[in-house]
Structure formats: structure tokens, C-alpha cells
Amino acid sequence: MNGAESLVQTLLDSGIDTCFANPGTSEMHFVAALDRIPGMRCVLGLFEGVVTGAADGYARMAGRPAATLLHCGPGLANGLANLHNARRAGVPIVNCVGDQATYHRPLDAPLTADSEGWARGVGWVRTSRRAADVGADAAVAVQAARTGHGQIATLLLPSDTCWDEGGVVAAPLPVPAAGAVAPASVQAIARVLRSGEPAILLLGQAGLRATAIADAHRIAAATGARVSAQMFNTRIERGRGRFAVEKVPYPVDAAMAMLAGVKHAILVGATPPVGFFAYPGKPSTLQPAEAQVHVLARPEQDLAAALADLADALAAPAAKVPTYREAAPARGPVSAESFGQSLAALLPEGAIIADESITFGRSLFPATHGAAPHDWLQVMGGAIGGGMPLATGAAIGAPGRRVVNLQADGSAMYTLQALWTQARERLDVTTVIFNNGKYAILLHELANVGANPGRTAMDMLDIGSPDLDFVKLSNAMGVEAARAENMTEFNDLFAHANRRPGPFLIELMTA
């Protein structure tokens, strides 16, 4: 057995059976090993940002890591922005990155780079030294990826460690369970809430699964505290039959208005609320200066248990799930409001929303509290180009569920190749492109930072010259597509897309 074979078998034994890949010469032995060792689903992405973003989406839905296969430092570097997003999402990923052979590296051939340095910025790193170590290194990498709420683990594999004989398969290593929150911490938060002072529970990570949200609402009903998700979230279970949570809004003024008057911000897997950016003359922290920030549970702790324990400590009775008014799809011109209405009415049961809708999508989350039960996934690290890969990986991580990718046009152009993977793998993804022909959010940001734009600045925010034709772009990658200019057209296309198997793209003209 060579090192590459020991790698594939160790990954399989450790529960990794999906690999998003974009290989090169140094990964050829890994690729060849896939034919000799059955069981690994290998999914080709035509750019490394698709590979890493898909691994993020997969992990969010499957609840376990995928592997990625990336080519040398530069292949890893191409995938870094979405690894950054995945790190923020707190998901596990095991990157297998081929590299120069150990004896070739000192010769400084063209693809030689600081691969370890690039990987270190997103998490755990190790370089295998010889074939006999590869299996053991892979088992440790999987353990590292699955420790805490999940992290990015990168294993660098000089090509001779893969082709040399002497590979040894390693047994899976234990993964520590999520830590429990100490009873004293629960009691301390219960005392804060019993004071009756204005409080808000800020939920993140696993605190946004339906049962955890329900317990947060028990606490809210018993104490008068409010409940909200943080600004960006890995996965929120929501929709009809479940409790709704609002989210801290992106615009600083709106976020500060939402948190105005709060005396206690209680973090449950959330990070303290800060502005996405600093703006001249505005504070960086979003809660009032006099508010106290408390931590009930850190993201890697058992958040559902912490909320249940807190609700019990407060003797909070079960809260009643609200009923939502069923909406009919909207007709007439396209607007964020009409789109939200149609989405709420037509979203298929069990759908997974991959949200990179940026400006057009601001109101879509509140508009869909009462849609059929679904999961809502956001791009977590602010690096655009996450949405389409996220949708692709989510479809593989949760087969049988429809993925709806709400996608702004400028961000789509970063990783549009994801469509080709969706067509090749026949994934059930409906992509809705919001074509406004602009970097609209940056127009707002120009005003926010007080910059004085001239012609050149405005040109940098215009992507409508020449116009992008997403129907043609989509067709060229094997995904059927159609354009909608009004809500009736959208409604028909959306219902059609969600009924048929495989991917479909709707280009919605929003400006």
C-alpha cells in the first residue's frame, strides 16, 4: 500500500466519504488510489473556491467533514477566501493538499510556495514527512477538524509521501463531545434574567436549531428577554411550526436601534455584536455602552443543553409556537417586498436556503418566518463568492432536499463555475440571480464612509457595462435557465424549477 492509499482508507475509516477536488500532478496518486479503494464520492470543482465553499455547505448539512483535494500552495490559496468563510462558520473540513516531493522542495521549482504559512491562517496544519506517517497524520487531521464546533485542518502531502510504499492505515481517533456549561454559569445568567432589566439572548451556531430556539423562547416568555440570532449564521432551522428569530441587522444604525435600551446581552454561541466595518464617527460595538455582555455558552459548548438548563432553572413553561398567516404569491413588478411574499408562499418544504443575496435580500429573512419549514445558511466571513459553492455542497450533504440559492449577481461572478458541478452531479439546486447590474451595497457604503465619488469610483461599482447574461452563462455550463421580468414569470419558473430534478437558474431582473 502506498501513502495515498493509506490516506484514502484512513479518511474513509474516520467517516469521510466525500471529497471535493481540483487535482494536479502532485495529487495523481490520491486520484489513482480512488479507483483501487471504493467508497469515496469525488466531486470535481473547476476552481478551488468552489471546492472549499462546497465543503463548507456539505459540512453544515451533513454534520460531518468532507475532504478537499487541492493542488500545492497556489491551489490552496485559490480556495482560501471560502476557507476563511468556513472557519467563521465553525465547520469541519479536512484539506488534503499535494505538494512538492520532499527532496524536490529545496530546488525551488515554480509551484513551491509557503503552503504551510497559507494554511495556518485558517486553522490546523501538518506536513507529512514519509509514506508511513500519512495514515496517522490523516487520522489526527480528522480529529482536529472535528474538535470544538469544527475547524479547518490542512494536511500537506509532499508527492513522495503519497507514491512511496509503506503506507499504514490509522484507526479513527476519539473526538471530544461538546463541553457542558457549568450549572453555576446557568444560575448566574438566571439571576441576571430574573432582575427584569432589558435583556436579549443572542444565539449563534447550534443555538439556532429548532429545539434550542424553542427553549430560548421559553426563557423569553418567562422573563421578558428578547431573542435574536447574531448577524451572520451557519444554519438556522425555521419556518412554519417553529419559533421565529430575528437577526441583528447589517446596517450599523439599524443594528444599534435594535439593541437600544438593552442592559444585558447574553451570548449563546454568538460573538459580541460588532459592526461589520468601522465608519467615521460611529461606534464599533453595537450594544449600548452601558450594557453588560454575558456569556451563557461559547460556540463549541453544548448550546441546546445550556438553553434547556436555563429554561428549567427559570421554571419556564413551554411557550406556544405562533401561527403564521399563509401568503399567496405576489404578482406585478419585481421588488424585494413582492419577492419575499412569493418566496414565503412557494418555498418547498424542507428546502435549504443558501443566502448570498446581499442588498436585494435584506428583507427576505423576516418575510419568510412563516414559509414551509427550511434551513437558512449564510456566507459567514464576508468574503463574497461563497453562495453558489455553499448551495452545491449543501445539496450533496442533504440529498433529497431542494436547495434554493438566493444569489446577488456580482458575488455570483466569483464562483459561477459551481453551476458546472451542479449540472455534472445533477444536484437539486434552484439558483435565483438578482440581476441589478451593480455592486449596489458598495454604493451605500460610499455614502457611509463619507467618500466623495467621481466618475472613476462610480465605474468601479457598475457591472452592467457590458451586461451579464446569466441565462447564457448558465446554459454554457449545462444548467437550464430562464429570465423573469415580473413576479408572475418568477412564480411560474420557481414552481417549475423546484418540481423538476436537477439544477435550474432563474435570472430575476431587479433593476
Ligand X SMILES: Cc1ncc(C[n+]2csc(CCOP(=O)(O)OP(=O)(O)O)c2C)c(N)n1
Contact positions vs ligand X (CB under 6 A): 81, 358-360, 382-385, 408-411, 436, 438-442
Q: At CA 266, angle to CA 262 and CA 268, rounded to 5?
A: 145
- How many angstroms separate the CA atoms of 386 and 47, rounded? 12
- State the minimum distance, in angstroms, from the CB of residue 283 to ligand X: 22
Question: Cα(210)–Cα(499) distance, rounded to whole angstroms?
Answer: 26
Q: Which is nearer to ligand X, 326 or 485 (CB)?
A: 485
Distance CA 126, CA 132 (A): 15
128 versus 436: smaller Cβ distance to ligand X: 436
For ligand X, the closer of residues 293 and 446 by Cβ is 446
CB 53 within 8 A of CB 415: yes
Question: Which is nearer to ligand X, 383 or 423 (by Cβ)?
Answer: 383
The closest residue (CB) to ligand X is 410
44 exposure class (CB count in 10 Å sphere: 0-12, 13-18, 19+) = middle
Return the number of the residue (164 or 409) whose C-beta is nearest ligand X: 409
Residue 339 CB, nearest approach to ligand X (Å): 13
Q: Compute the least distance from the CB of residue 510 to ligand X, in Å.
A: 9
Phi, psi (degrees; rounded to nearest 5) at 504:
-150, 145
Q: Smallest distance, Å, CB 149 to ligand X?
A: 23
Residue 184 C-beta: closest distance to ligand X, Å: 41
> What number of CA atoms fall less than 13 Å from residue 28's CA on the CB side?
8
Helix (H, G, I), strand (E, B) or coil at 333: coil
Considering Cα of 321, then 324, then 326, then 329, what sign does the dihedral take? negative
Counting other chains too, the contacts that 276-281 makes at CB distance below 8 Å and 24 or more residues apart are 276/231, 276/250, 276/252, 276/382, 277/445, 277/449, 279/252, 279/448, 279/449, 280/449, 280/450
Distance CA 356, CA 384 (A): 8
State in angstroms the smallest separation of the CB of 507 from ligand X: 13
Q: Which is nearer to ligand X, 276 or 324 (CB)?
A: 276
Of the two residues 342 and 411, which places its CB atom closer to ligand X in the complex? 411
**Shortest Cβ 449–ligand X spacing (Å):** 13
